[in-house]
Amino acid sequence: MSGLNLAQQEAVNYMQGPCLVLAGAGSGKTRVITHKIGRLIQTGVAAKRILAITFTNKAAAEMRERAKSLIGREAKEVVICTFHALGVRLLRQDGEALGLKAQFSILDSDDVTSILKDAGGTTDAATARQWQWAISLWKNMGLNAAQAEAQAKDDHERVTARIMARYEERLTAYQSVDFDDLISLPLKLLRDHEAVRRKWQELLGHVLVDEYQDTNATQYELLKLLVGDKGRFTAVGDDDQSIYGWRGATLDNLRRLPQDWPNLKVVKLEQNYRSTSAILRAANNVIQPNPKLFPKTLFSELGEGEPVRVVDCDNEEHEADRVVARIQSIRANGMGKEWKDFAVLYRANHQARIFEQALRKAQVPYKVSGGQSFFDRAEIRDLCAWLRLWVNNDDDPAFLRSITTPKRGIGHTTLQNLGTFAGKYKLSLFAALFSSSLGSVLPAKAVGSLHEFGRYVNDLEFRARRTEGAEDARAFLTEWLKDIGYEKHLYDSEESEKLAASRWTNVMEFCDWMAQRCGGQIDDTAGVSITSDKKNLLEVAQTIALLSTISEREKDQNVVTLSTLHASKGLEWPHVMLVGCVEGMLPFKLDDDDGKKGQANESILQRLQEERRLMYVGITRAQRSLAVSWTKRRKKGREMVAAQPSRFIAEMALDKATVKEDPREKLKALRAEFAKKSADAAAASAAAAAAGTP
Ligand code: ATP
Ligand code: MG
């Protein structure tokens, strides 16, 4: 119980029924979850009967670390994962009841786009992605194609709903699920199959959910079925930090909790342990204009601290220079020592580039968090397609990618005919390939090459299943890549040798990564696997699809973090710089593309409120210092246009006397940096002299 205040202790000690911890940023909500895991184990709940749900895989990994240091080895057994990883677990174990085989494939967003192109008869990716978006929202609301069509408001929606029906047929045929299915299918499973539901309800002793404000309707339904009538769960959240409404998250989940659970215990936390009073005041002021779902107060005992600064810049390059200068000056005056104490936060991914350039020029180490994931790289996706095909022969998208990468002389027409044939007999492409009547639609030579491919895949699958341990898996992967000539394929298809070489390095890294998991050295596969038993390659391959969403493979490096505001949720840094705070960026453009009359005002207002919460999230990431910067001019397409400071800067209601950062800061920083360098150099040569080396 040490390190918890009274309200936190109350939440941690209450185990008999549903509990909601509702509190502002930095008040120790996540800490309550970690400590409660420990407390539950202490009172005799078996670790494997505890389920903690986090918002990202990275947060899951972090929570596991904290739990480990709190309760030791037993923490390994606790299931800590995202809703999606939980969905995979449920479906792999019990999906058979839905007609899903245990080796089903998980499609990524690109696979979905191409299936939709096919289902909707278009070659235009943008159109397909619009359908994808709409279908995803429907699925998150718990609607199937028929229900979506029934509630469609116009022809466009009706058409989309019909395409959804065809899309769903294809997924079933491919024994594949998309990301939304990872929530909606487990929901269906528990809802329609009493035995399965009972099994899970008996298994789970307590369920804890972090970032509850960003759950969507289906996730809440799933939670309800998991915990049953006893309702042994703990949800923690902050309505002011709900920033995923655009993806279907709904604050209704918070609103409904007290109604659905009349015996709900609500705990409010009021002390913020993260930020100074100056920072907290700015945060409270910003969020003030939003309607209050639950009124909250938040105070800090960390002292007033440095005033929040507003940095006026001419343009983005200037802004980037000033960010670098600020980092250097804070380091020089001893307020922050480590690079990892700093974060630069922005609204949209593309804003990172200019800051990257400036940091590189100044030789400041950094990482871009939430950028392109390792698993999104073409070469890794190539390999994953092969692995998916071994695990699930019916995965048609994986089949098509494998059979054409690298090219093996099987042409488009052959594949098209195979596709038509498979469609006619309702077979997967792989099953169709071995059909005895395939010869009636394809020349013998084509059938021959298809058979060769099919046999090769069967052989690989057979051998992958028999790998034992890391070394064996590595040897197998190496041989396979040599067999298919993947390295040569990279060098043939890349324009520059340098690029090909870097792709090949990624491939090697991927093989290492797989091998380590086969050896059981790594047991945190994003919360999917909790044992450290050795696994064969096929078992490891089954968990990969899920990882493809993680961009966070990074270790705890000592570098400056560049991150979007969305990806910064739940995290904290001593020094935060919120950049690009201009109208049109933050709040993000509110006016265009929203033509629907009548609804427009309401939806603009809601979006503005969500942007304001985003600003609140950004401000509350800072522990000791916060600077907010804006540019007088900004790029809009190819043009430079005049820009206005974000309305949120005014809403922070900062003290006019202290607000502006001194423009001479840069000069001072350079001087200080120079002084520090000379001092370091002097110290180094003194040390060298003392050690007797020249
Ligand atoms: P967010 O809303 O941003 O997710 P949170 O409410 O989850 O924040 P935590 O991340 O759990 O807050 O805690 C914020 C910081 O305060 C952490 O550094 C945590 O270690 C510290 N903290 C939390 N509770 C206490 C406490 N009782 N005593 C000392 N430090 C605490
Ligand atoms: Mg938290």
Q: What is the pLDDT of residues 297-342, one digit of tens each?
A: 899 999 999 999 999 999 999 999 999 999 999 998 888 889 999 9
Would you call 211 a catalytic residue per the annotation? yes
- Respond yes or no on whether the N-terminal peptide bond of residue 258 is cis (omega within 30° of 0): no
Would you call 210 a catalytic residue per the annotation? yes
Contact 54, 211 (CB under 8 A): yes
265 vs 693, which has greater pLDDT?
265
CA torsion sign, 501 to 505 to 508 to 514? negative
The alpha helices in 485-572, defined as continuous H runs, are 486-493, 497-518, 537-547
Contact 410, 450 (CB under 8 A): yes
Name the β-bridge partners of 79: 51
30 Cα: distance to centroid of ligand 1 (angstroms): 7
289 lines ligand 1 (CB under 6 A): no
pLDDT at 295 exceeding the cut of 70: yes
User: How does residue 545 score in pLDDT terms, banded at 50, 70 and 90?
Assistant: low
Closest residue (by CA) to atom 27 of ligand 1? Answer: 4
Q: What's residue 10's pLDDT?
A: 97
Query: Under 8 Å CB-to-CB from 670, ≥6 apart: which residues?
Result: 325, 328
User: How does residue 553 score in pLDDT terms, banded at 50, 70 and 90?
Assistant: very low
* Cα–Cα dist 425/430, whole Å: 12
User: Which ligand minimizes its atom distance to the CA of 31?
Assistant: 1
Q: What's residue 135's pLDDT?
A: 94
Q: What's residue 550's pLDDT?
A: 41
Q: What's residue 660's pLDDT?
A: 66
Which of 2, 20, 30, 69 for mutating ligand 1's site (highest number of atoms within 8 Å of CB)? 30
Which of 273, 275, 298, 615 for mutating ligand 1's site (highest number of atoms within 8 Å of CB)? 273
pLDDT at 643 exceeding the cut of 90: yes
Q: Which residue has the tokens 């670790």?
A: 47
579 Cα: distance to centroid of ligand 1 (angstroms): 25
User: 488-517: b or e for each residue (b if 16 or more CB lie within 10 Å)?
Assistant: ebbeeebeeeeebeebbebbeebbebbbeb
pLDDT digits (tens, 9 = 90+) for 214-258: 999 899 999 999 999 999 999 999 999 999 888 888 888 999 999
pLDDT digits (tens, 9 = 90+) for 172-218: 877 889 999 999 999 999 999 999 999 999 999 999 999 999 999 89
Q: Which residue has the tokens 């350079």?
A: 670
Q: Judging by beta carbons within 10 Å of its beta carbon (0-12, 13-18, 19+), is residue 389 exposed, middle or buried?
A: buried
* pLDDT (mean) for 418-444: 90
Ligand 1 atom at shortest distance from the alpha carbon of 5: 27
The active-site residue, picked from 309, 347, 503, 621, is: 621
Which of 2, 243, 274, 301 for mutating ligand 1's site (highest number of atoms within 8 Å of CB)? 274
The active-site residue, picked from 108, 210, 239, 395, is: 210
211 Cα: distance to centroid of ligand 1 (angstroms): 13
287 Cα: distance to centroid of ligand 1 (angstroms): 20
674 vs 82, which has greater pLDDT?
82
Closest residue (by CA) to atom 14 of ligand 1? Answer: 26
Contact 446, 414 (CB under 8 A): yes
26 lines ligand 1 (CB under 6 A): yes
Query: Under 8 Å CB-to-CB from 288, ≥6 apart: which residues?
Result: 651
237 Cα: distance to centroid of ligand 1 (angstroms): 13
331 lines ligand 1 (CB under 6 A): no
Q: What's residue 655's pLDDT?
A: 79
3 lines ligand 1 (CB under 6 A): yes
571 Cα: distance to centroid of ligand 2 (angstroms): 7
pLDDT > 90: what percent of the chain? 55
User: How does residue 529 score in pLDDT terms, banded at 50, 70 and 90?
Assistant: very low
The two tokens of residue 278 are: 């100056």
Q: What's residue 670's pLDDT?
A: 66
pLDDT at 145 exceeding the cut of 90: yes
31 lines ligand 1 (CB under 6 A): yes
Cα-based torsion angle of the residue sequence 282, 286, 289, 293 in order, rounded to the nearest 10 degrees: -90
Q: What's residue 532's pLDDT?
A: 56
* Cα–Cα dist 300/622, whole Å: 13
Q: Which residue has the tokens 């029924």?
A: 17
User: How does residue 665 score in pLDDT terms, banded at 50, 70 and 90?
Assistant: low
Would you call 564 a catalytic residue per the annotation? no
pLDDT > 70: what percent of the chain? 89
198 Cα: distance to centroid of ligand 2 (angstroms): 31
Q: What's residue 638's pLDDT?
A: 78
pLDDT at 600 exceeding the cut of 80: no
570 lines ligand 1 (CB under 6 A): yes
Would you call 621 a catalytic residue per the annotation? yes
User: How does residue 548 score in pLDDT terms, banded at 50, 70 and 90?
Assistant: very low
29 lines ligand 1 (CB under 6 A): yes
Q: What's residue 419's pLDDT?
A: 83
Would you call 29 a catalytic residue per the annotation? yes
Nearest to 213 by CA among 240, 247, 246: 240
218 lines ligand 1 (CB under 6 A): no
DSSP code of 334? T
Q: What's residue 549's pLDDT?
A: 41
* Cα–Cα dist 156/279, whole Å: 47
296 lines ligand 1 (CB under 6 A): no
**Phi and psi (nearest 5°) for 274?**
-100, -45
The active-site residue, picked from 241, 405, 549, 561, is: 241
Neighbouring C-beta atoms of residue 531, cutoff 10 Å: 10
* pLDDT (mean) for 160-183: 89
**Phi and psi (nearest 5°) for 169?**
-55, -45
Record the pTM.
0.80
681 vs 51, which has greater pLDDT?
51
pLDDT at 515 exceeding the cut of 50: yes
pLDDT digits (tens, 9 = 90+) for 446-468: 999 999 999 999 999 999 999 98
Nearest to 265 by CA among 1, 51, 22: 22
211 Cα: distance to centroid of ligand 2 (angstroms): 7
Q: What's residue 571's pLDDT?
A: 93
Q: What's residue 99's pLDDT?
A: 83
Q: What is the mean pLDDT of the chain?
A: 87
* pLDDT (mean) for 598-627: 89
519 lines ligand 1 (CB under 6 A): no
* Cα–Cα dist 115/111, whole Å: 6
Nearest to 627 by CA among 276, 287, 326: 326
Q: What's residue 17's pLDDT?
A: 94
Nearest to 613 by CA among 265, 291, 337, 278: 291
* Cα–Cα dist 694/677, whole Å: 20
268 lines ligand 1 (CB under 6 A): no
Q: Which residue has the tokens 């479906």?
A: 91
- Which among 98-112, 158-172, 678-692 has the top mean pLDDT? 158-172
Helix (H) or strand (E) holding 458: helix 444-465
Closest residue (by CA) to atom 29 of ligand 1? Answer: 3
User: How does residue 65 score in pLDDT terms, banded at 50, 70 and 90?
Assistant: confident
The active-site residue, picked from 168, 180, 181, 211, is: 211
Would you call 118 a catalytic residue per the annotation? no
Ligand 1 atom at shortest distance from the alpha carbon of 272: 16
* pLDDT (mean) for 274-296: 93
Kindly provide the residue ranges of all beta strands, DSSP E only, lying in 333-379, ordered along the sequence.
Answer: 342-346, 366-368
Q: What's residue 370's pLDDT?
A: 66
The active-site residue, picked from 8, 30, 56, 234, is: 30
30 Cα: distance to centroid of ligand 2 (angstroms): 4
510 vs 572, which has greater pLDDT?
572
Nearest to 135 by CA among 116, 107, 114, 154: 116
Q: What's residue 104's pLDDT?
A: 82
Q: What's residue 52's pLDDT?
A: 97
Domains in the chain, CATH or no CATH each: 6-93+188-269 (3.40.50.300), 108-173 (1.10.10), 299-371+554-661 (3.40.50.300), 375-546 (1.10.486.10)
Q: What's residue 407's pLDDT?
A: 86
557 lines ligand 1 (CB under 6 A): no
Q: What's residue 693's pLDDT?
A: 39
Ligand 1 atom at shortest distance from the alpha carbon of 32: 11
* pLDDT (mean) for 63-92: 90
Q: What's residue 185's pLDDT?
A: 93
